[in-house]
C-alpha cells in the first residue's frame, strides 16, 4: 500500500524476494529493476475504499456500453486505451478521429491476429500520432488509413477537444482539460 494514500493498493501476479523488490521504493507502475519481472509481472495499481462500494462507484462513473456507443458521432475526437505507450509523448492513450457512428453486424479481422466479433460494437476511425517526444507537448498529426476500433477499447469521454487545430496534414494541440479528463481514468487495470 502507498504510505501517503492508503486507498492505493499495488499488486503483482507473484511476489518476489529479490534484492531490488525488497526496497520499498521498488513499488512503481513504471520501470522496475526486478530481474524476474517477466515471471512476477509488473505492479498494478488498484483503488480500494473501505467505506464505499467500489463496484457501485464504478457503475455510476461509467456509462453502459450501449449508452456510450449511442452517443458516438463521426468526425469527433476520442481516445483509446493503449496496449503500450505511444512512442512519442509516452501517454497511456491513443487519440483517434471517428469516421462513423458505432457499428455492429459483421466480423472483422484486425491486423495482429485479433477479431472484432459480429455482435461487438466498433467504429471506423483514423489514428493520430504524437509528433513530439515530450509529455508536456501534446501535439498530434492525423495518420492516413481507416482502422476498426472496438467501442470497448475507447475511454468514455465524449467532449475531447483541440486547443489549436492545424490545417490539413498539420499538427493539432490537445486541450489541457481534455488531457486531464483522460488521465482521470484508471489505465493500470486495462488489458
* Digit-coded pLDDT (tens) for 98-133: 999 998 888 888 776 678 888 888 999 999 988 876
Specify whether 83 is located in the same domain as 115: yes
Which DSSP category does 143 fall into?
P
pLDDT in the model for residue 72 = 93
pLDDT in the model for residue 156 = 87
Within a domain: residue 178?
Answer: yes
Asked if 178 and 161 touch (Cβ cutoff 8 Å), the reply is yes
Specify whether 71 is located in the same domain as 135: yes
Specify whether 93 is located in the same domain as 160: yes
Specify whether 82 is located in the same domain as 34: no
Q: What global pTM score does this model have?
A: 0.63
Residue-range definition of the domain harbouring residue 45: 8-60
**Measured distance CA(62)–CA(78) in Å, rounded:** 15
Within a domain: residue 189?
Answer: no
Q: What one-character-per-residue DSSP string does 30-81 give? A: S----TTHHHH---EEEE--SSS-HHHHHHHHSPPHHHHHHT--TT-EEEEE
Number of domains, the chain:
2
Specify whether 31 is located in the same domain as 89: no
* Digit-coded pLDDT (tens) for 34-73: 888 778 777 777 666 554 454 554 454 455 777 888 899 9
Specify whether 41 is located in the same domain as 18: yes
Within a domain: residue 3?
Answer: no
Mean pLDDT of 167-176: 79
Amino acid at each position: 500500500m502507498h504510505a501517503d494514500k492508503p486507498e492505493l493498493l499495488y499488486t503483482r501476479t507473484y511476489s518476489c524476494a529479490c534484492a531490488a523488490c525488497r526496497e520499498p521504493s521498488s513499488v512503481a507502475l513504471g520501470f522496475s529493476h526486478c530481474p524476474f519481472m517477466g515471471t512476477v509481472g509488473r505492479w498494478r495499481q488498484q483503488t480500494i475504499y473501505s467505506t464505499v462500494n467500489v463496484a457501485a462507484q464504478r457503475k455510476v462513473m461509467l456509462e453502459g456500453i450501449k449508452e456510450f456507443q449511442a452517443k458516438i458521432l463521426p468526425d469527433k475526437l476520442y481516445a483509446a486505451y493503449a496496449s503500450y505507450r505511444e512512442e512519442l509523448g509516452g501517454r497511456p492513450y491513443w487519440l483517434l478521429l471517428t469516421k462513423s457512428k458505432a457499428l455492429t453486424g459483421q466480423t472483422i479481422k484486425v491486423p495482429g491476429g485479433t477479431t472484432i466479433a459480429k455482435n461487438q460494437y466498433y467504429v471506423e476511425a483514423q489514428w493520430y500520432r504524437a509528433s513530439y517526444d515530450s509529455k508536456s507537448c501534446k501535439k498530434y498529426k492525423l495518420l492516413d488509413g481507416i482502422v476498426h476500433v472496438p467501442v470497448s477499447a475507447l475511454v468514455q469521454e465524449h467532449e475531447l477537444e483541440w486547443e489549436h487545430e492545424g490545417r490539413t496534414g498539420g499538427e493539432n494541440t490537445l486541450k489541457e482539460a481534455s488531457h486531464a479528463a483522460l488521465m482521470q481514468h484508471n489505465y493500470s487495470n486495462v488489458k
